[in-house]
Amino acid sequence: MPDTQVVVVPQSADLQSVIDSLSARGKERGPQGPSKFILLSGGSGSPEDWPGSLGLSSWGEDGDARAFGNPLTLNPKPEPGRRTDRPVEAKPLSSATFPSKEQDSSPLNDSLTNIQWLGGMCSDGLGSGAGGRASEKENQEPCAQRLQLSQHLDGAQRPPYSYMAMIQFAINSKPDRRMTLKEIYTWIEDHFPYFRNVAKPGWKNSIRHNLSLHDMFTRETSPDGKISFWTIRPEANRCLTLDQVYKQLKPAVPQIKKVAIPISSERKMKPLLSRPESYLVPIQLSLSPSLFLPSVQLPLAAPPQNCSSLAAEFQGGGKRVRIAPKCAPPPVEEFKEDPLCVSLTLGAPAAPNHPAQRVARGSRRKQYLAPPPREEPVLLFPDSTFFDSGLTSDLSASQDTGLDSPGRACAFKTPIKGSRPASSTPSKPIGSENAAASSSSSLPSPWRTSPRVTDARDVLDFSPIRGPLGPSLTPQNQNRTPPFGFGFDSTPFREPPLFSSPRELLTSSVRRSPASWGRCPGQLLPDRGPGPGHHERQPEQDPGGHQLLGPGGRGAGRLQPQLVTPHPIAQVTPPRPPRAGLLTKLLTPALVSR
């Protein structure tokens, strides 16, 4: 049902206004816009938290106590000048005109107009106070103190994407997927006015930081050495584009857009850390029909599998939406306190109670210790496990409480990756990825072995787009065809995408054939030939991934249903939110004064 959107509505929200808003947005969206909506009751939140009226809390007053312009202190430049090269904010806010010139970047073919965080070019009359020491450094006040006016439509809403994601958007928007730093800046400013109009100049520092930090991004130098271009390691490039985040590429594939409506929750974070509480993300829903409104039936491929999701948007009382889910199959039976899962059809039960496949307990994920052993762990990989977009979903909530509790075949514990996922190139046997970390040659044997237990967990597809090939249930981790087809790239993967954390996803490579690296679907690469024979050096094979969103314990199996249960309007009864904790408080509205 490509024209369908699932909308999670705060309990306290006015349903009619939601509907009105959605209808309006659907019109803006044009013919491709969703015409049907699935409404789910979400956590809390009041109408004033809605996109347009979000108050952008308190990041202008940061002040920070650091004497900025002490002209006599010659301490080495606290980030030199570095003002935005765009004319905006160049002068001390003298009623700038925001020429919005230099729309030189990629064509704005993204139909961005309907996204709430994408306001138009700021056209406010600024000129507010505090303009004295005009910010010339990156570590300065936000570009515009003019927050009180036009709190929307000028990028007041920070986009919900992480820097890493935005950089990927930017680079992948170019046909050759290569961008200079300045171009990245410009692209982001053009597509996310927040950064031009609102963010402090330090955001450019963060861009550079991300480029350097993540080895997904590599720098290439022009032959003459004069120009540096940033690229995405082809093995790691999931070819994320901003388009894909809200525009479906292949209507044939069932896709549902999802709108998370913000829940009030004030942050004390620094400006760029605090995120808007809602945004549009595309996901491929794979929920059992019982989760939906009675009238809705998803034309799923295989037998409808479970695999969670949805609730993602509400974790932490409207924290932020998770894109690129860490989707792990729920344990087969036996699991306790997993409200959403209860009503879901479970994947084909893998060999239950597979001994030696699970770490006794203790696992905050990551802890890449050893590559998955040849005897593949039991990995539940139900059909509907994969989500089209990076919407966070994870029903692997089963806390893995009792150690070695029987009946929990798919424990999904501490996936292993051999501290570097590298080396399993097509030219080499897959088993060659033994580059591992756990070979500390002096460990007492119990220590060596235990972490090597290779339960797959979390994991799966972070791709915002879904290929037509529906993922097939692969309980034995064989013949699996992870949904990395990417629409046009149909190269199947021999190995299932096994990674346990966003970081790994981000850093590691795409589990596609080298021939398909860098071949992204769609019109983004019109001038590029299929380039099939190009994979000179076969990089390490590994599932590539990316994280769209901000900080948080993404490394672990997220979206514990008990934490984020969206109280679906459908029949699914929230089976008692177990062990609420602080997050429960967040889900209960009005506690936050605001």
Q: By CB under 7 A, what part of segment 348-367 binds DNA? A: 361-367
The answer to whether 86 contacts DNA (rule: CB under 7 A) is no
Separation between Cα atoms, residue 27 and residue 22, nearest integer Å: 9
Give, as ranges, the residues between 12 and 71 that touch DNA (CB under 7 A): 62, 64, 66
- Among 36, 82, 152, 178, which residue interacts with its own copies (rule: CB under 8 A)? 178
**Least CB distance from residue 451 to its own copies, whole Å?**
5
539 touches, from Mg ion, its own copies, DNA, none (C-beta below 5 to 8 Å by class): its own copies
Would you say 225 or 299 has its CB closer to DNA?
225
Give, as ranges, the residues between 362 and 421 that touch its own copies (CB under 8 A): 362-364, 366-371, 403, 414, 418-421
The answer to whether 73 contacts DNA (rule: CB under 7 A) is no
252 touches, from Mg ion, DNA, its own copies, none (C-beta below 5 to 8 Å by class): none
Separation between Cα atoms, residue 491 and residue 464, nearest integer Å: 17
- Among 123, 180, 432, 491, which residue interacts with its own copies (rule: CB under 8 A)? 432
Query: How many other β-carbons are positioned within 10 Å of the β-carbon of residue 530?
Result: 10
The answer to whether 50 contacts Mg ion (rule: CB under 5 A) is no
Instruction: Work out the burial of residue 119: count CB atoms within 10 Å of its CB; fewer than 13 is exposed, 13-18 middle, 19 or more buried.
Output: buried
Would you say 173 or 343 has its CB closer to its own copies?
173
482 touches, from DNA, its own copies, Mg ion, none (C-beta below 5 to 8 Å by class): none
Would you say 116 or 398 has its CB closer to DNA?
398
Strand 36-41 and strand 4-9: pairing? parallel
Binding segment for its own copies among 110-118, 220-228, 277-285, 458-466 (CB under 8 A)?
220-228
Give, as ranges, the residues between 446 and 475 that touch its own copies (CB under 8 A): 446-451
CB 179 within 8 A of CB 171: yes
The answer to whether 536 contacts its own copies (rule: CB under 8 A) is yes
Dihedral of the alpha carbons of 425, 429, 433, 434, in degrees to the nearest 10: -150
Would you say 13 or 411 has its CB closer to its own copies?
411
CB 412 within 8 A of CB 345: no
Phi, psi of 219 (to 5 degrees): -105, 135
CB 407 within 8 A of CB 354: no
Binding letters toward its own copies, positions 248-267, x by CB under 8 A: -----------------xxx
549 touches, from its own copies, Mg ion, DNA, none (C-beta below 5 to 8 Å by class): DNA
CB 504 within 8 A of CB 462: no
Phi, psi of 476 (to 5 degrees): -100, 15
**Least CB distance from residue 437 to DNA, whole Å?**
11
Separation between Cα atoms, residue 548 and residue 447, nearest integer Å: 35
3-class DSSP state of 70:
coil
Separation between Cα atoms, residue 50 and residue 44, nearest integer Å: 12
Compute CA distances 405 → 360, 400, 477, 525, whole Å. 9, 8, 22, 51
Give, as ranges, the residues between 250 and 269 that touch DNA (CB under 7 A): 267-269
Separation between Cα atoms, residue 254 and residue 250, nearest integer Å: 8
Would you say 347 or 371 has its CB closer to Mg ion?
371
CB 339 within 8 A of CB 433: no
Q: What is the 3-state secondary structure (H, E, C) of 393-445?
A: CCCCCCCCCCCCCCCCCCCCCCCCCCCCCCCCCCCCCHHHCCCCCCCCCCCCH
CB 276 within 8 A of CB 198: no
Give, as ranges, the residues between 161 and 220 that touch DNA (CB under 7 A): 161-164, 180-182, 185, 200, 202-206, 208-213, 219
**Least CB distance from residue 268 to its own copies, whole Å?**
5
Would you say 193 or 497 has its CB closer to its own copies?
497
- Among 27, 133, 270, 534, which residue interacts with DNA (rule: CB under 7 A)? 270
**Least CB distance from residue 459 to its own copies, whole Å?**
18
Binding letters toward DNA, positions 386-405, x by CB under 7 A: --------x-xx-xxx----
180 touches, from its own copies, Mg ion, DNA, none (C-beta below 5 to 8 Å by class): DNA
Q: How many residues touch DNA (CB under 7 A)? A: 94
Task: Identify the CA nearest to 210 among candidates 539, 498, 546, 542.
Answer: 546
Which amino acid makes up residue 571? Q
3-class DSSP state of 258:
strand
Would you say 496 or 518 has its CB closer to its own copies?
518
Separation between Cα atoms, residue 505 and residue 206, nearest integer Å: 20
Task: Identify the CA nearest to 488 among candidates 524, 452, 449.
Answer: 524
Separation between Cα atoms, residue 101 and residue 149, nearest integer Å: 23
Give, as ranges, the residues between 35 and 64 that touch its own copies (CB under 8 A): 61-64
Give, as ranges, the residues between 208 and 227 that touch Mg ion (CB under 5 A): 215, 217
371 touches, from its own copies, Mg ion, DNA, none (C-beta below 5 to 8 Å by class): its own copies
The answer to whether 67 contacts its own copies (rule: CB under 8 A) is yes
Separation between Cα atoms, residue 197 and residue 469, nearest integer Å: 42
**Least CB distance from residue 36 to DNA, whole Å?**
29
Give, as ranges, the residues between 519 and 558 that touch DNA (CB under 7 A): 547, 549-558
**Least CB distance from residue 161 to Mg ion, whole Å?**
18
Separation between Cα atoms, residue 530 and residue 64, nearest integer Å: 52
Give, as ranges, the residues between 514 and 533 that touch its own copies (CB under 8 A): 514-515, 517-519, 525, 528-529, 531
Would you say 382 or 485 has its CB closer to DNA?
382
Beta bridge partners of 220: 229
Binding footprint of Mg ion on the chain (CB under 5 A):
215, 217
